[in-house]
């Protein structure tokens, strides 16, 4: 096993590179991480600790070796309990870089695409694949920290290798692990509806009518399973989609209107609160 230093965890949720980043974190004191979303794809490779992870209304009870996939629309948050060191590998991949891998033989985006469609994000690799994935992460980090010729290229090659075995593990993961997921089918339906119709005038009254449930039941159950109020979730979802549109070059006003914000100034204020930056800073330069 390679002798790797551990990275210092920060609350940063933006990439510094334009392709991918890989980190190895170990925290003795659990960090406080709030609900967040980011403009890239994340592979969360859990190594140790006492952690459950909430993603879009589903809560995953993690075991060492579990892997979670999140895309650039998922609202998520770890619940890290005290008592054991919290260790994990984290890989961030820019959507453009991930898309480029799709044309190189096997579609390495397949696990992300399938997980997004099924809204089920957990991978539990078998022991032999788990050891291989850990080893590749270690080599990727070692190459990242080297300054020798071709280290960056070598690190990218290791990432592609990792994605091959990640896809194999994803499609081999048995349905039986769903017992470690806490979810509510009705709330899953509400979350899916919000994802599809986020730009509509979504209110507690309307959603209660659509799903034939009482407003009080919906409000309580939604907060229980997602960790956010209905209003908080809708606003975060609209802002997330707006940010992704900006990253694709869509003008600020267009993103504002198409994501259900009828007041431009309120959109700007909410956007800066959520992401700490002005919307124009996210627009891709053509």
63 and 105 inside one domain: yes
144 and 260 inside one domain: no
pLDDT one digit per residue (tens) for the chain, 286 residues: 455 678 999 988 889 999 999 999 999 999 999 999 999 999 999 999 999 999 999 999 999 999 999 999 999 999 999 999 999 999 999 998 888 876 666 889 999 999 999 889 999 999 999 999 999 999 999 998 888 899 999 999 999 999 999 999 999 988 888 888 999 999 999 999 999 999 999 999 999 999 999 999 999 999 999 999 999 999 999 999 999 999 999 999 999 999 999 899 999 999 999 999 999 998 875 4
14 lies in some domain: no
157 and 174 inside one domain: yes
Last residue of a domain, one of 160, 181, 202: 181
Distance CA 25, CA 272 (A): 28
> How many structural domains does the chain have?
2
2 lies in some domain: no
Last residue of a domain, one of 181, 214, 242: 181
Picking from 164, 194, 161, 191, the residue whose alpha carbon sits closest to that of residue 260 is 194
Which residue segment(s) compose the domain that 69 sits in?
Answer: 20-181
CATH number at residue 227: 1.10.10.60
């Amino acid at each position: 096993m390679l002798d790797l230093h551990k990275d210092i965890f920060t609350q940063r949720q933006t990439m510094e590179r334009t392709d991918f980043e890989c980190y190895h974190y170990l925290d003795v004191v659990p960090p406080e991480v709030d609900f967040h979303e980011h403009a890239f794809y994340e592979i969360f490779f859990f190594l140790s600790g006492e952690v459950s992870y909430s993603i879009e209304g589903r809560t995953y009870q993690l075991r060492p070796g579990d892997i979670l996939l999140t895309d650039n629309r998922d609202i998520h948050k770890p619940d890290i309990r005290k008592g054991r060191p919290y260790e994990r590998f984290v890989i961030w991949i820019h959507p453009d870089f991930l898309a480029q891998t799709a044309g190189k033989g096997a579609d390495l985006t397949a696990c992300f695409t399938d997980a997004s469609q099924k809204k089920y994000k957990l991978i539990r690799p078998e022991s032999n694949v788990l050891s291989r994935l850990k080893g590749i992460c270690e080599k990727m980090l070692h190459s990242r920290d080297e300054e020798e010729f071709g280290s960056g290229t070598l690190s990218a090659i290791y990432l592609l290798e990792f994605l091959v075995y990640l896809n194999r593990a994803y499609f081999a993961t048995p349905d039986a692990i769903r017992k470690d997921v806490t979810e509510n089918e009705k709330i899953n339906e509400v979350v899916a509806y919000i994802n599809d119709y986020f730009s509509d005038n979504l209110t507690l009254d309307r959603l209660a009518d659509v799903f034939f449930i009482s407003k009080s039941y919906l409000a309580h159950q939604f907060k229980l399973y997602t960790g956010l109020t209905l209003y908080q979730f809708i606003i975060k979802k609209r802002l997330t989609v707006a940010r992704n549109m900006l990253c694709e070059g869509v003008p600020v006003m267009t993103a504002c209107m198409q994501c259900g914000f009828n007041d431009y100034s309120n959109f700007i204020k909410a956007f800066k609160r959520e992401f700490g930056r002005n919307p124009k800073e996210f627009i891709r330069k053509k």
